Chains A and B, each alone.
Chain A
Amino acid sequence: MPVRVAEISAPSQVSGTISRHTSPPACTLLSVGQAFSGTQNVSSIQKEEAWRVNVRIQGCDLEHGYLCGTMEALNVPMADTPVVTFWEGEIVDTKNYTFFTGKWDASPEDDKRHWTKFPSFLPLLSQVEIDGGKSLDLSNCPYIFMRWKEQYFVNVGTDCGLTIAGFYYVCFSCSDGSINGFYYDPNSSPFQKLELKSTNEGRSGFSFSSYELQ
């Protein structure tokens, strides 16, 4: 609609009407269909333990800072099959989500404690302490920070003896597709580490699928 520029009143508070190119860059390695594999360390004081983990991105909506996918944990002692969960992610893009979680029992102190465990976050720390990172320009940052929250079990019942009450602080590297994360759950051992690499699933190189909703 034609609108007279001179007559526009104060900028709208509505997200999306002001075009700010400060969100993290789109990255082909973090797109629908991409797979990652590695380990989650679930050590406690009693013993050292790590599960093999496969992750696949199933949905991605950058404009709303949303993605979702599955996580498959292998060699889980309590289960006789791999355990698959469905998770939803918030991308810290300063538009839809900031570095402060604001829910899931995570205080700003918890947030800072976790984000600072990623070396790539340290240059951003001072701005985050001031305003949660709202004024950061992440458009050239080769890392994407996210929170992943598992929502439900896909192939086992909730009585399987496993918990998905917490969430992950995640740092994704755009250059090689590696993922590092820390699981946060006030009732579990702290800082359980997730380390994944982009998998080629037997290929010698990278391959990409296309899935579009009309």
Chain B
Amino acid sequence: MPSATVNSRRPIELLSRLASDEPEVKVRALREVKNQIIGNRTKKLSFLKLGAVPAVAGILADSADDVMDSNCDNNNVNNILVQSATVLGSFACGFDAGVQAVLDAGAFLNLLRLLSNSNEKVVDAGARALRMIYQSKLAPKYDFLQRKNMEFLISLLNSENENVSGLGASIITHSCKTSLEQKALFDAGILRKLDSLLEGGSLSQRDASLESIAAIFKNNPEVISKFAGPEIGRPLSSVIDLVKDRYPRTRLLACMCLIVIRNTSPHFLQDLGIKTTLIHILLELLDDPGQVGYEAPFAFSSLIAQREDIQKLALEANAIDKLHHHLQKGPLHPRHYEGILLALADMCSKLESCRSKFLSLQVLNLVTDALTDNSADVRTAACICLKSVTRSIKVAALGAICNVVVDFTTRKSIFIQCGGIKQLVELAKSMESAVRSNALWALKNFVFLADNRLKEDVFSELTASMLSSLICDPEPCVQEQALALVRNLVDGYINSIEFVFAEDGLILGAIGRQLQSSSKAEIGIQGMYALCNVASGNEFHKEAVMHQLFPQTGDKNQSYMIKFLLSNDSQLRTATVWTIVNLTCPSSPGASGRLEKLRNAGIVSQLKNMVNDSCVDVKLRVRTVLGQSMGFGDN
């Protein structure tokens, strides 16, 4: 017997002993490898680099063949099979490079063969190894639609061995993606089998079944209704019971299964009690140490996302306080951190009451801390959270109100001092249209109700020529934001109308051209409001707007005004009528002349057709115009 020395445990040594002809040496070497790599990623990597996986896969292959040979000592062969399968399983456990290596070494089929071995331990080792592989995205896709594959799967699920039936469930969880596959599994009676594992199986079988059931139901309302149809009571109630199981992982998986059902077919599980239970259980699971605690906030997010009613219930259950409490505990595992931040983002996505709660607890500081975390996922989650919270209308309003009180140390001027405007203007020149559009959006909000000095700063940075070319940008979303920005620039103090006249009316001309050529309502709305705002100025301004609306004088050319008045979009009709209100405002000397032009262009008679417009806002403005026009002796 080789004596055990320190050196004989080095990877290279072990590998050479793997190649030994003596079964006992092989077995001991395999055991040693197994002991070294278990739970040790670094060791796995170093053994991998030395080619350990193909070596062990080769041993597995040879021994699998030996089983057929009746001359062989079965005991030794079985030991080798068990140990080599275990080692391969260990390489694959939570380690994608290991999974890949095992698959590349062609071990998959041999592991499958182990499942039909007569020795229980061999079957078990094979099943465990395969389960490890199936936890990875890299596992081979299982073709459920082939009959013999389905039969094999059923045989796995029917096995007494919990690793084998667990493997069956893992295969479903991993590979079942399409509705065709879901239906095939349903038709083969798999759901009933899984349900019986829920009721009578071991812990590991229950957990595996919950995941598989969720995979079969996901986004497939038809399967859900078939399964839980007339007999809705029993199968669904097994899952519901497990929500209160004593094992945290089971509770989590049961919650996730119910959430899948609810999100696919909202009319099931409407019961208030269920919603409240799910909320409470998931919030409790946040406290669980380890994987369950890390995954719980993600499950919570999937429960509440887009659903105001559940967010309200969660708020009442103190969800925000609890999430806040976790942030305070820190330092957090990155996955946990990310999950909590995203859960807060979802909580604050719709309800003002949630955002108020968030702000009142002063969670904001903790979230902004996360902006500088090492993990990119955490930083992203923090941004998403902040974006969700600052969507608060009240917060935005209060921000604007700052300007009422504080004169020049407002947040806006600090922003300018830090070069914020320059940055935004640079972004408005980006090659990416989404970036241009968002930069303009930010600038638009920035100049909303801003004082003239601020508007001048923005305008001089942007320049008239850049703004007019953005109005004529190739992308409609950019055009729209540029026009909205102009709209805001010319609102407020009356002198700000002059912006559109800069450089010989560059901007005004661009607006007119864009309104002429665009067919999108959103562009019409913003452009028309920009003109409307200009038309609320003095005589000169009103005449300039008329010139844009009716470029060919003395020509009965149909202006785009008529097209807009006939639009299906009520906002566009409203904007257009407001412009006419302003142009015919009686306090202006030239109003009657403009009214005449509008009449000649058929606009007044079109308005008369709109006195009972379906949109109240439009109807009232039309009546205002017609009322104003009476004053000029309209017949």
Contact = CB atoms under 8 A, between A and B. Distances in A.
Nearest to A156: B405
Contact of B393 (A59, A72, A154, A209): A59
Nearest to B583: A205
Contacts of A187: none
B560 interface: no
A211 B526 contact: no
Interface residues of B, number: 61
Given A174-B616, A174-B617, A206-B532, A58 B397 contact: yes
Given A86-B401, A210-B444, A210-B529, A68 B394 contact: yes
Contact of B491 (A4, A25, A209): A209
Contacts of B83: none
Given A142-B620, A175-B620, A211 B391 contact: no
Contacts, number: 154
Task: Name the prevailing secondary structure of the B interface residues.
Answer: helix
A189 to B, nearest CB: 28
Interface stretch (A121-129, A160-168, A196-204): A196-204
Interface size class of A (residues with CB under 8 A): 35 or more
A27 B401 contact: no
A3 B266 contact: yes
B533 A207 contact: yes
Interface string B594-635: 000000000000000000000111001101100000000000
B396 to A, nearest CB: 6
Given A3-B221, A204-B582, A204-B587, A25 B616 contact: yes
B397 A68 contact: yes
Contact of B536 (A2, A205, A212): A205
B478 to A, nearest CB: 15
Contact of A66 (B219, B393, B448, B538): B393
Which of B401, B444, B537 has its CB near the most chain A CB atoms (within 10 A)?
B401
B308 to A, nearest CB: 6
Interface string A137-179: 0011010000000000011000000000000000000111000
B616 A27 contact: yes
Interface string B106-129: 000000000000000000000000
Contacts of B264: 1
B617 A25 contact: yes
A102 B10 CA distance: 79
Interface string B134-161: 0000000000000000000000000000
B488 interface: yes
B263 A1 contact: yes
A36 to B, nearest CB: 14
A74 interface: no
Interface in A178-196: none
A152 B396 CA distance: 16
A198 B617 CA distance: 15
A66 B5 CA distance: 79
A212 B264 CA distance: 32
Contact of B448 (A14, A26, A209): A209
A208 B532 contact: yes
A25 to B, nearest CB: 4
A1 B533 CA distance: 43
A17 B537 CA distance: 44
A70 interface: yes
A140 B441 CA distance: 33
B581 A12 contact: no
A7 B624 CA distance: 49
B445 A212 contact: yes
B582 A205 contact: yes
Top 8 closest pairs, chain A to chain B, by CB: A205-B582, A205-B536, A58-B397, A25-B616, A59-B397, A59-B393, A203-B536, A14-B309
23 contacts: A1-B221, A2-B221, A12-B309, A16-B308, A28-B621, A33-B449, A59-B394, A59-B396, A70-B404, A88-B394, A142-B620, A201-B493, A202-B493, A204-B587, A205-B532, A205-B582, A206-B581, A207-B532, A209-B488, A209-B492, A211-B396, A211-B445, A213-B396
Interface of B: 219, 221, 225, 263-267, 270, 308-309, 352, 387, 390-391, 393-394, 396-398, 400-401, 404-405, 441, 444-445, 448-449, 484, 487-488, 490-494, 526, 529, 532-533, 535-538, 542, 574, 578, 581-583, 585, 587-588, 615-617, 620-621, 623-624
Interface of A: 1-4, 7-9, 12, 14, 16-17, 25-28, 32-33, 56, 58-61, 64, 66, 68-70, 72, 84, 86, 88, 139-140, 142, 154-155, 174-176, 200-214
